[in-house]
Amino acid sequence: MDDRQFRFAMGQFATGVNVITTEADGNIHGMTANAFMSVSLNPKLVVISVGEQASMLEKIRKSKKYAVSILSQDQKELSMLFAGQIKEDRDVSFDRLAGLPVIEGAHTQVSCEVVNEHVEGDHTLFIGKVIDLKLQDCSDPLLFYKGQYCCMKASEEVM
């Protein structure tokens, strides 16, 4: 199996799109990520997966905290910016949740403290204990499927 085949297969799993944020030495850093899931209800834990090349890695190790902003479908441009797909310096203003920077107007914001870290292959999993969350629920979430951004056509339950 080659890398392309693996990526293609994993891309069949539709996800939301998040911006992970943290603050180290007074500087806010953001990174687009879709490797995110909830891990435990009691205690409330989530996990993110950060690549070994990402500058986010050392920043989270330093701050020991991160926030996850689940993007709304009108925030595709922010996803592209924080994935380095738009190569421009832009001024982004952030909200705060439990002291951590979060994306303004995001669908859902979650702030976490790192309680564990696992290096697995070329990624590091950061287990985060949820310290606060906020739902705006103003529009549908942005989706990512087969390597492309998309949106929900209708929020109807499949029978």
Query: Nearest distance from residue 58's CB to ligand FAD, in Å?
Result: 9
Q: Please report, as ranges, the residues that interact with ligand FAD according to CB under 6 A.
A: 17, 28-35, 49-51, 54-56, 81-84, 90, 92, 144
103 or 133: whose CB is closer to ligand FAD?
A: 103
Shortest CB 136 distance to ligand FAD, Å: 20
Residue 128, SS3 per DSSP: strand
Residue with Cβ nearer ligand FAD (2 or 89) = 89
How far is Cα 75 from Cα 33, in angstroms, rounded to an integer? 14
- In terms of Cα–Cα distance, which of 23, 45, 50, 22 is closest to 35? 50
- State the minimum distance, in angstroms, from the CB of residue 159 to ligand FAD: 30
Check: CB of residue 108 under 8 Å from CB of residue 135.
yes
The Cα–Cα gap between 32 and 85 comes to: 10
Nearer to ligand FAD, 11 or 42 (CB): 11
Q: Which is nearer to ligand FAD, 15 or 136 (CB)?
A: 15
- The answer to whether 107 and 141 are in contact (CB under 8 A) is yes
Instruction: Please give the residue whose beta carbon sits closest to ligand FAD in the complex.
Output: 35
